[in-house]
Amino acid sequence: MSNTNLSWRVCIYLGRGLCSNCGDTVKKALSVRVHRCDHCGYTVDGDENATRNMLQRALVSLFQNKMLSYAYDCFFS
Ligand SMILES: [Zn+2]
């Protein structure tokens, strides 16, 4: 297994525990393939839920990096 493949699997595992719709923690066994949130009722394939969480985190990280870059340019350019 390559490092990229391993990293991808770790990200999917970590993203499984959160509801991508409301952000609440959802505990479920790895064998459970469907994400069902008791808090908001959101139901979706477990891998899709994990992928949505990863995408949201990536977008937030990208936005924060852009904002930091902009702030740095304002103060130090
Ligand atoms: Zn939810």
Ligand 1 center to 18 CA (angstroms): 8
CA diameter of the chain: 53
pLDDT at residue number 41: 97
pLDDT at residue number 34: 94
* Mean pLDDT, rounded, for 19-28: 92
Ligand 1 center to 17 CA (angstroms): 11
Determine whether 11 is exposed, middle or buried from the number of CB atoms within 10 Å of its CB (0-12, 13-18, 19+): middle
Residue 35 structure tokens: 């994400």
Rounded to two decimals, what is the model's pTM? 0.69
pLDDT at residue number 73: 84
pLDDT at 2 over 80: no
Ligand 1 center to 67 CA (angstroms): 29
